[in-house]
């Protein structure tokens, strides 16, 4: 390992929060030596990852704020606190991102027990950044008590969070009736806990009741029964019950569940490795060149070589 990365590794093991931030930057930007850094991570305990997903406007960031407040109250004074990864969408034009979730979590922005990192998707689908798996492992090695991952909020395609998180929360609102129909073939099947946020709105009780009744029909028999929790994140109501449900679901996770989770992580990392060096812009240019020659067979041969 290069000297700079070796020093970073040592500082990371000493619990230096600035080194954690630098290590994530090294991993995210694949700076020279990042693979050695990943291979030499040390883990003192298993840190659960809580995924938070759901449609835009459901109050995911506000719920994270409230959830962190409740979790901190139950942590020991000498704990390493909580790590948060907030994934923001990248512009399809310039690949930039606002990374604004830290502003919405301003209550914990300067809390020494909370580490917040925003990641841009950089064009990746599924509600996550392509580097989220590696970044969460770096944060796990730091020894946080919990790691929270908030996805972009794009709806049905956010099923990738199920291959990263130990527990997946789907945040919805009482007005989500039509949205549920749209999402049911995607995120509905991967949620462990359905959080009906903004539960002070009309119809919240009826919505939660109907959701409870329809869950067995929407989820496969091989998956443990999901639960429904009502919250009002802006008032910090319902989050204590939510924390208890999270702990209960973590305790119920079997070796088979964990094996499937790690298999999915391995698959995603292998897929990413195999896709390295493939440039969509170059592929498009090659296909356009063959189109101008009116040679469809060469286009087919060009595509199938991948």
- Residue 126 has a pLDDT of 44
Helix or strand (DSSP H, E) at 51: strand 49-53
- Residue 125 has a pLDDT of 45
User: Burial, 303: exposed, middle or buried (Cβ in 10 Å; 0-12, 13-18, 19+)?
Assistant: exposed
DSSP 237: B
The full set of domain ranges for the chain reads 1-41, 43-274, 276-306
Q: Is the dihedral of CA 220, 223, 225, 231 positive or negative?
A: negative
Task: Report pTM.
Answer: 0.79
- Residue 94 has a pLDDT of 39
CATH homologous superfamily of domain 43-274?
P-loop containing nucleotide triphosphate hydrolases (3.40.50.300)
Crossing angle of helices 255-274 and 132-142, in 10° steps, is 130
Q: In which residue are the tokens 């730091």 written?
A: 142
Q: Which residues have a Cβ under 8 Å from the Cβ of 287 and sit 6 or more positions away?
A: 299, 302, 303
Reduced to 3 states, what is the DSSP secondary structure of residue 118? Answer: strand
- Residue 63 has a pLDDT of 94
**pLDDT by position in tens, the chain (length 306):** 556 677 888 888 888 999 999 999 998 888 888 888 988 888 888 899 999 988 888 899 899 999 999 999 988 888 889 999 988 654 433 344 444 555 556 667 678 899 999 887 654 444 455 688 889 999 999 999 999 999 876 554 456 677 788 999 999 998 876 555 545 555 667 788 999 999 999 989 998 988 888 775 544 445 567 899 999 999 999 999 999 999 999 988 766 666 776 677 777 777 777 777 777 788 788 778 777 777 666 766 666 665
- Residue 106 has a pLDDT of 63
């Amino acid at each position: 390992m290069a000297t700079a990365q070796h020093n970073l590794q040592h500082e990371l093991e000493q619990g230096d929060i600035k080194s954690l931030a630098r290590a994530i930057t090294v991993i995210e930007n694949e700076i020279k030596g990042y693979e050695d850094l990943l291979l030499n991570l040390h883990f003192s305990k298993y840190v659960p990852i809580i995924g938070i997903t759901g449609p835009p406007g459901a109050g995911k960031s506000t719920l994270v704020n409230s959830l962190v407040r409740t979790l901190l109250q139950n942590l020991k004074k000498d704990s390493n606190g909580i790590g948060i990864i907030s994934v923001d969408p990248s512009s399809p034009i310039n690949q930039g991102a606002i990374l604004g979730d830290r502003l919405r979590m301003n209550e914990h922005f300067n809390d020494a027990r909370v580490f917040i990192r925003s990641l841009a998707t950089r064009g990746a689908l599924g509600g996550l950044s392509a580097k989220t798996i590696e970044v969460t492992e770096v944060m796990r090695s730091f020894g946080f008590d919990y790691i929270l991952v908030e996805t972009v909020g794009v709806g049905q395609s956010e099923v990738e969070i199920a291959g990263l998180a130990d527990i997946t929360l789907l945040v919805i609102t009482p007005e989500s009736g039509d949205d549920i129909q749209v999402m049911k073939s995607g995120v509905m099947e991967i949620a462990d806990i359905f959080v009906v946020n903004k539960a002070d709105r009309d119809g919240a009780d009826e919505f939660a009741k109907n959701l409870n009744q329809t869950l067995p029909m929407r989820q496969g028999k091989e998956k443990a029964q999901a639960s429904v929790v009502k919250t009002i994140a802006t008032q910090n109501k319902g989050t204590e019950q939510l924390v208890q449900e999270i702990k209960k679901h973590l305790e119920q996770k079997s070796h088979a569940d964990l094996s499937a989770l790690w298999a999915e992580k391995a698959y995603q990392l292998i897929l990413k490795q195999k896709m390295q060096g493939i440039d969509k812009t170059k592929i498009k240019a090659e296909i356009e060149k063959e189109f101008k020659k009116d040679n469809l067979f060469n286009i087919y041969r060009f595509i199938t070589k991948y």
